[in-house]
Amino acid sequence: GVVALGPAARLLRGFALPWADAIARALPSVLARAPFRHMETPGGQHMSVALTSCGALGWCSDRRGYRYAPRDPDSGHPWPPLPAPWLGLAREAAHTAGFDGFAPDACLINRYMPGTRLALHQDRDEQDFGQPIVSVSLGLPAAFLWGGARRADRAERVPLFHGDVVVWGGADRLRFHGVAPVRAGEHPFAGGQRINLTFRRAG
Ligand code: MD3
Ligand code: FE
């Protein structure tokens, strides 16, 4: 089923399930080359979410700010390549939501342990806000917080489950969003964790 979360945001329930094995097979080699880390924010806090990237560009945060960079700052090496089946999933999901020709150059991988949350924020480090973002939820469920154009706007809670894909574009691309603290549990995909992939055209 396709659920409209906004004028240009589409929740595709279970869309990634046929790709779950292909995602699981490629994940260990990506994480071996670019391990999860808790990035430091410009304010000097460490993020509750652990993250890494693959693709031509990866998202980085440090005391100087947020940016996309072609190399992993921890290793000095380029980010691992985006696995081909992951790219196929992102393109098919974007197409299903009405965005043809999506060509992501970055995939952020977020890891949520029990209690991990992501505060309300906007994604504005990408060059072209006309390009959609495709997100894939894996493992433990979470309550996605779907806000408005302003931080103070009331956020709706949308449950996201293993295999759900959301495509965000157009008028919804700059809406505030976040993730409520993940509750402890067990899921065959990744044990006691939630993993989220977000595909972006960053450069
Ligand atoms: C709505 N990740 O990585 S994915 C992020 O579940 C991020 O890990 C969350 O927010 C997670 O930046 C939510 C859903 C998502 C991603 C990007 C968006 C929703 C979005 C950009 C614009 C609007
Ligand atoms: Fe975000």
pLDDT, residue 3, reads 96
Contact of 30 with 83, CB cutoff 8 Å = yes
pLDDT, residue 155, reads 97
pLDDT, residue 190, reads 95
Residues around ligand 2, an ion, CB closer than 5 A: 123
The tally of domains found in the chain comes to 1
Answer positive or negative: Cα dihedral of 162, 153, 174, 107: negative
pLDDT, residue 202, reads 98
Task: Please report which confidence band the pLDDT of residue 105 belongs to, taking 50, 70 and 90 as the band edges.
Answer: very high
pLDDT, residue 160, reads 98
Query: How many percent of the chain have pLDDT more than 70?
Result: 100
**Ligand 1 center–CA 5 separation, angstroms:** 13
Q: CATH number of the domain that 60 lies in?
A: 2.60.120.590
Question: Which residues lie with the beta carbon below 6 Å from any ligand 1 atom?
Answer: 108, 110, 118, 123, 133, 135, 166, 168, 172-173, 175, 177, 179, 196, 198
Q: State the chain's mean pLDDT as an integer.
A: 97
Q: Is 124 annotated as a binding residue?
A: no
Q: Is 199 annotated as a binding residue?
A: yes
Nearest ligand to the CA atom of 158: 1
pLDDT, residue 94, reads 98
**Distance separating alpha carbons of residues 138 and 197, to the nearest angstrom:** 8
Domain that holds residue 135: 2-200
Contact of 30 with 109, CB cutoff 8 Å = yes
User: 118-171, pLDDT tens digit by residue?
Assistant: 999 999 999 999 999 999 999 999 999 999 999 999 999 999 999 999 999 999
User: 53-99, pLDDT tens digit by residue?
Assistant: 999 999 999 999 999 999 999 999 999 999 999 999 999 999 999 99
Please report the beta strands in the chain, taking only residues with DSSP state E, as ranges in sequence order. Answer: 2-6, 9-12, 50-54, 58-62, 65-69, 106-112, 118-121, 133-139, 142-146, 156-160, 165-168, 177-179, 194-200
ipTM for the predicted complex comes to 0.96
Task: Please report which confidence band the pLDDT of residue 25 belongs to, taking 50, 70 and 90 as the band edges.
Answer: very high
Q: Which one, of 193, 197, 35, lies nearest residue 113 by Cα?
A: 193
Q: Is 100 annotated as a binding residue?
A: no
pTM score, whole prediction: 0.97
